[in-house]
Structure 1
Amino acid sequence: MNTSLDIASASDKLTCSLHEIIDGGNKDLMQENANVDGRSPMGMMGKMASESARWYAVERLLSPDVRQAMDNNLLYPHDLDFYASGTTTCCQIPLGKLLRLGFNTGHGHMREPQDIKSALALASIILQANQNQQHGGQAYPMFDYDLAPYVRKTYERHMRYIATLPLDPSFDTEAEAWRLAERDVYQACEAFIHNANSMHSRGGGQVPFISINYGTDTSVEGRMLMRQLLLATQAGLGKGETPIFPIQIFKVKTGVNFEPEDPNYDIYLLALETTAQRLFPNFAFLDATFNAQYYDGTAESEACYMGCRTRVMGNVNGKETALGRGNLSFTSLNLVRLALLSANVSDFFQRLDELLSLSVKQLLERYEYQAKKQVQDFAFLMKQGVWRGSEALRAEEELREVLKEGTLSVGFIGLAEALVALTGEHHGQSEAAWKLGLRIVSHMRKRMDEATDATGMNMTLIATPAEGLSGKFTHKDRAEFGCREGITDRNYYTNSFHVPVYYDVKAYDKIVIEGPFHELCNAGHITYVELDGSAKANTRALNQLIRAMAANGIGYGSINHPVDRCRACGHHDTIEEDCPVCGSPGDQIERIRRITGYLVGDMNKWNSAKRSEESERVKHG
């Protein structure tokens, strides 16, 4: 191999990419991430830095066999532009601990807040600070429990003030203190949501990718926080816009909030009402066997999710909890290409085994690179106790031992198209194809469990949330194998184990088909149902769908439906073309849609693969 020629060729490709960024000629390159404004100065600079850093990682940090597999369109290590920095992907942040003990962002110590407004202001600052230490999402796994003490402090402050007033002895002091506290909680939640949608502190001028989990705190304070958060979400932003962040995840649990006699059932109903208006919250099912196995009666043992699907629970190197842990890195496999290369099913599994072994090797190599980084390289993440077990480390110490509590994940794209290549049908079309699909994903999970035993690392399987990659894999395969019906004839491969979005299947059947795959994908999973119109007037239907998910092994689910708003007059409803109220044309209509798991209000920012996918989604009645 002529290494100098290879590097020169790669350098030419990088130069070409940089030219395309500058002149805006390649929209898909600029809009790999729909939340980045690629034409803004920071977006352009960030994209140029990203392409350069990715080139460096591929040419200088990846092993030759991994590079070859990438060239062959078989695998892709995600977030290569952050490889050289050694940072990790994401973290479930222990908000309660940071608020209680205080923290330092590098410019001074933040002491414990004394009311809910200050607490939620600091919660925003924590997310903003940590987003600069990691390239993925940030989440609060116990938003209700962690903030309840500051609702209590707010109530007590009002009680102290009211006690100084010359009031009639019959005046209900407690009721007034709670009324004032409730007002403060609403305002604090409203400010937190506005902050989440306006802190452009992430690479490329994005706001941080924020998730919050809640639903199971039955205290007066926790319930007040959740109710006001949901009401503030319903109200929207300053002109009624639907908040893109935080991604809200309502934790469903029988005995707590799922039945009429449960103490938080009213909060569950309010969550249904809110998702009918604003697409959030999504729903996590704590009674699913693979989530329930971790529950020991404490809030810290409740399963939680992050962003579009990430889940971190099992841990062979410490406590089985999400708190202070996250994913280190993940790599996705192109199942479609494997199937196209295979002579038969047996050949497919042999090739899959070889690719899984290579992926595990690559993940371990990346971990070794990360492990040699020092605490001082990630001062907030490590020195402020965000990452589990990091507080006691000295600035110059390596991260090897504490990073072992994180996860390394293999993901996959295109199960549906791979099944068509192998059998002629995908798993929504026949039981035989579904059984083979389950066998394939079960095999991958088994191999990751074996890798955990062999390496002592948390090796996991994730249902990949591909955005740009779903189109990249497809275009390369079509160039080699041609346009094959049901395989390469669209601009995208179907994400992970999903039934293809264009396949006409009943909502309930889709849930039943996808349910068993959730347990196998222990690093993250999600199932969507796409409705054919506004859900605002039909929360009963949403309730039925959520209960169907709970009954069929879904760990994490959400419901998609049109959320449209006229920018001119503010009219909210499903708007087919022009605004029916003021007549504003279609280009004045804000259309909020979900892409891979998060929301985007301008579909012009989507890459061509994801625009094609959205346009072909079958809507369920």
Structure 2
Amino acid sequence: MDIIILKRDNQKDKFNGTKIAIAIKKGFDSVENDHYNEDDVNGVYNQVLKQIKTLSETEKFVSIEFIQDLIEKELLRQNYIDVYESFASYRARRNDSRKIFISKQHKFLKAIEKLNQKEAIDEDAKRENANVDGNSPMGMMLQFGSTVSKEFAKAYQMNQDYYNAHDSGQIHIHDLDFLPMGTTTCNQINLEKLFKEGFSTGHGHLRPPKDIMSYTALAAIAIQSNQNDQHGGQSIPAFDHYMAPGVLYTFKKQFKQRIYDYFEIQDKLDDIKINEALKHIDSLDSITIDIYEFEQFLSDKQDIKTVDKAYDKAVRVTNRITYQAMEAFIHNLNTMHSRAGAQVPFSSINFGTDISPEGRMVIENYLKALDSGLGKGETPIFPIAIFKVKEGINYFPEDMNYDLFKLAMKVSAKRLFPNFSFIDAPYNKEYYQEGRYETEITYMGCRTRVMSDITDPEDEVVTGRGNLSFTSINLVRLGIKYGILNNEETDMEGFYDELGALMELVKDQLLDRYEIQCNKTIGNFKFLLGQGVWKNSENLKPSDNLHEALKHGSLAFGFIGLAETLKALVGEHHGESEASQKLGLEIVEFMRQKADEYSEEYQLNFSLIATPAEGLSGRFVGIDHSIFGNIPGITDRDYYTNSFHVPVYYDSGIEDKLRLEAPYHALTNGGHITYVELDGDTNQNPDAFEEVVQLMRKYNIGYGAINHPVDRDPECGYTGIINDECPQCGRIETSAQPFERIRRITGYLVGTLDRFNDAKRAEEHDRVKHTL
């Protein structure tokens, strides 16, 4: 007779013996005993199956729980004690998880109710990520799924210590909603590798590009496709180097076409020498040529002049097409969507070091397209442009690309971008190998940095690598607990003991999440791994564990609120006291040393990141305020200070701010950024703008950005500083027709103030504006 199974939800199903066999085999596989084999598994399975069949002769249904009881009893009867203990322990944990998930249902159903009933302007959770429209159908779908996924991860996939620490605000597990999917955070995409053979996005193969328009179109598609396989951002490490071959392709095409056109007019196309000249163009390796090399084909001086005319025209047309390609790239990345249409891809491009004529043409035209803005003059949000500063290439007036560095600063003074990274900062320069742009430091727009690789020290490159996951520690709570507020004197021993214990907890949590990631397959990440975007993924087989590829990524410890921590410990933050600065560096160095020790112990790339406070800026302080109340200078604002930054409300002066924050860049090998907030119209003072960038280099800042107001009148398109009246058309701002006021909050510029959550609005409001 058929055996009917009664499931936990009282649904009925036909008996499937394979599932029971798999459950028993997993029990045997979970213990370290090389003597167990298939005979042991089958011995237990056959006895359990016999008992089930006997029971089914008298009972209508056999429950899942009863079958698991039979398995446990049979394991004990046959003296598989270690397998029994493992099986029973796993079963108990799963039962606990189900209880936890059910107990949390009311909590997250209430959260979903808020998402469904309130507009983004009234619900902070709908503005947690300012690049997601919380009112749109796909934006709401993403937030619904995120809310449920987080609770599922806590209940079923995490040690109770981890989610207790997360829920209580001791730590913050970033992108917790993506934990069940096993996604990694971000990637530094090697476009050269993708373009060499072409690639597939899952719906057909795209041929290798053969002109600059195709290069930028496929670059945008690669970013979009990779975004769907990860929960973080996408960075292009050497955009100028990758795009330069596309410029050369376009030039050759245009050069040949102009020669064809000019000689067709002269009715000379049948001339064998002219055809040889056309073929010679295919062998050119640069758009800069000596026109007289064509004398070997064309002895007639008039023909040489015609070729010269064709060359000039081809260069001008190539330059114009390159500008159009860069313009299209920017427009694409601000309009194309990922993640089921919920948001534009988080994208960054790094450039500035290609000194070839083609690379220079890419840089110049990208900057000009960025300067022009979007269709109505709007400042583009993506991609985050990062200009790589390198002495001998673009830093000094005599350097080949110095003019492009100047242009980059001019554009940044208007559009907030590019940001600036500094290859010659000692901790970046140590990896630099001349002639290998894959060793030039690359940053994600948010600040993430992935460079050293303990798993492959002979090939430490930025390409094909990224962060796997990161978790931040609430330093401020430790400061309050062990500082002068609650003790006769600061208890640094207790502070470091608990900080060490928290890092140990986070290390285990990062490793557990890493195992979830490694136990996925290529099929889960068909672009990231299936197309070989991640380093060493091209040789993976469909059933392979992903460790051999993912080991090249980083596992990062983050932190937030160093300034408030110091206030709690000794009464002054590092902007107020050199002694506090010394203590701040000691705390961060302690964390970095721990991360380095874990790297050696586990042979994985543990790192320390200065946490981007995008979604965390108000969470920790909200929890701590409810515990400790209002503590002046610590919990009395809506946010904790971003990572190691001097508080935004403290006027330290530009040079002091850079001097104080720079040493932390060397310690935070997982990523960092320093901002300078300027007042006034930076367009009107380019020399002062450059002076700030020069100061960043002087103090060994790794990655820096200059913030300033970017206002725009949507009526006339004026971009600059606008108070209540537009300087161009004289229009007065009204609530019905407000001016756009774009501000940067973290590494990603996230747009107008109405898209920020409450904590980020408060932080922006408090910022000291430095006068040029």
TM-score scaled by length of structure 2: 0.79
Does residue 1:332 correspond to 2:480, yes or no? no
Distance 1:120 1:7 in 2: 46
Residue of structure 1 equivalent to 2:446: 308
47-56 or 464-473, which deviates more: 464-473
1:466 aligned to 2:466?
no
Q: Equivalents in 2 of 1:141, 1:479: separation in Å?
A: 43
Q: 1:88 aligns with which of 176, 179, 184?
A: 184
User: Equivalent residue for 2:317?
Assistant: 180
Is structure 2 residue 103 aligned with structure 1 residue 9? yes
Q: Counterpart of 2:722 in structure 1: which amino acid?
A: I
Do the aligned partners of 1:117 and 1:184 also contact (CA within 8 Å) in 2?
Answer: yes
Amino acid in the other structure paired with 1:9: S
Q: Is the 8 A contact 1:44 1:204 kept in 2?
A: no
Query: What is the 5 A alignment of 1:313-462?
Result: 313-318=451-456, 319-342=459-482, 343=487, 344-462=491-609
Amino acid at match of 1:332: S
Query: What SS does the corresponding residue of 1:593 show, helix, strand or coil?
Result: strand
Matches of 2:614 and 2:414, distance apart in 1: 25
Instruction: After superposing the two structures, state which structure 1 stretch, 223-232 or 600-609, moved more.
Output: 600-609
Deviations 1:220-240 (A, max 9, x none): 000000000000000000000
Shift of 1:136: 0.4
SS at match of 1:164: helix
2:527 is paired with a residue whose SS is helix
CA distance in 2, matches of 1:145, 1:6: 52
SS across alignment from 1:380: coil
Partner SS, residue 188 of structure 1: helix
* TM-score, scaled relative to structure 1: 0.98
SS in 1 for 2:617: helix
TM-fit CA distance, 1:3: 6.8
How far the C-alpha of 1:259 sits from its partner, in A, is 0.3
Q: Distance in 2 between matches of 1:612 and 1:68?
A: 28
Residue 601 of structure 1: how far off its partner (Å): 2.7
Report 1:154-553 matches (<5 A): 154-166=250-262, 169=303, 170-171=305-306, 172-202=309-339, 205-297=342-434, 298-318=436-456, 319-342=459-482, 343=487, 344-553=491-700
Q: Give the CA deviation at 1:83.
A: 0.4
Judge which range, 535-544 or 17-26, deviates more.
Answer: 17-26
For each residue in 1:570-600, what CA deviation from the matched residue of structure 2 results, as whole angstroms up to 9, or x when unmatched? 1222112343423241542111110111123
Structure 2 distance, partners of 1:186, 1:101, is 25
Of 579, 582, 586 in structure 1, the residue corresponding to residue 730 of structure 2 is 582
Q: What is the distance in 2 between the residues matched to 1:247 and 1:64? A: 38
Query: Counterpart of 1:583 in structure 2: which amino acid?
Result: R
2-side partners of 1:352 and 1:59: how far apart? Answer: 26
Partner of 1:125: 221
Question: Does residue 619 of the first structure (1) align with residue 769 of the second (2)?
Answer: yes
Q: Would you say the 8 A contact 1:37–1:204 is kept in 2?
A: no
Instruction: Report if aligned partners of 1:579, 1:586 keep a CA contact under 8 Å in 2.
Output: no
CA distance in 2, matches of 1:573, 1:107: 44
Instruction: Encode CA deviations 1:142-165: one digit per residue, 9 max, x unaligned.
Output: 101111111011100011101112
CA deviation after TM superposition for structure 1 residue 283, in Å: 0.3
Aligned AA for 1:585? Answer: E
- Any conservation in 1 of the 2:353–2:388 contact (CA below 8 Å)? yes
Q: Is the 8 A contact 1:120 1:189 kept in 2?
A: yes
Per-residue deviation, residues 534-576 of structure 1 (Å, max 9, x unmatched): 2111111111111111111200000000011001111222112
- How many angstroms apart in 1 are the aligned matches of 2:723 and 2:156? 50
Cα distance, 1:400 vs. partner?
Answer: 1.5
How far residue 484 of structure 1 moved from its aligned partner, in angstroms, is: 0.4
* Cα distance, 1:204–1:464 mapped onto 2, change above 3 Å: farther
Shift of 1:204: 6.2
C-alpha separation in 2, matches of 1:43 and 1:136: 16
1:97 offset after TM fit, Å?
A: 1.2
What is aligned with 2:299? Answer: none
In the superposition, relative to structure 1, how do residues 3 and 572 fare at CA in structure 2: closer, same or farther (>3 Å)? closer
Aligned residue-pair number: 621
Question: Deviation at 1:468?
Answer: 2.4
Residue pair 1:100, 1:112 contacting (<8 A) in 2 also: yes
Could you list the runs of 5+ residues in structure 1 that have no partner in the other structure? Answer: none
Of the two, which has the highest radius of gyration?
A: 2
RMSD: 1.4
1:24 is matched with which residue? 118
Aligned to 1:65: 161
Once the two structures are superposed, residues 345-365 of structure 1 have per-residue CA deviations (whole angstroms, 9 ceiling, x without a partner) of 221111101101111110000
Post-superposition offset of 1:619: 0.2
CA distance in structure 1 between the partners assigned to 2:249 and 2:137 by the alignment: 43
The secondary structure found in structure 2 opposite 1:250 is strand
Distance 2:670 2:341 in 1: 27
Matched, 1:145 2:292: no
2:142 counterpart residue number: 46
Please give the alpha-carbon distance, in whole angstroms, between the structure 1 residues aligned to 2:603 and 2:686.
46
* CA–CA distance in structure 2, aligned partners of residues 465 and 613 of structure 1: 13
CA distance in structure 2 between the aligned counterparts of 1:220 and 1:191, rounded to whole angstroms: 21
> Deviation at 1:72?
2.6
**Does the 8 Å contact 2:98/2:155 carry over to 1?**
no
CA distance in 2, matches of 1:256, 1:164: 38
Which protein, 1 or 2, shows the higher relative CO under an 8 Å CA cutoff with sep ≥ 6?
1
Quick one: distance in 2 between partners of 1:204 and 1:427?
A: 43
Contact 2:373 2:379 in 1 (8 A): yes
What does residue 715 of structure 2 align with?
568
Which residue number in structure 1 is paired with residue 194 of structure 2? 98
Aligned residue type for 1:582: G
Q: Tell me, which stretches of 5 or more residues in structure 2 are unaligned?
A: 1-92, 264-301
Q: Once the two structures are aligned, what percentage of the paired residues are identical?
A: 51
Q: How far off its partner does 1:397 sit?
A: 1.7
CA distance in structure 2 between the partners assigned to 1:612 and 1:463 by the alignment: 20
Q: Report SS of the residue matched to 2:438.
A: helix
Say which SS state the counterpart of residue 682 (structure 2) adopts. coil
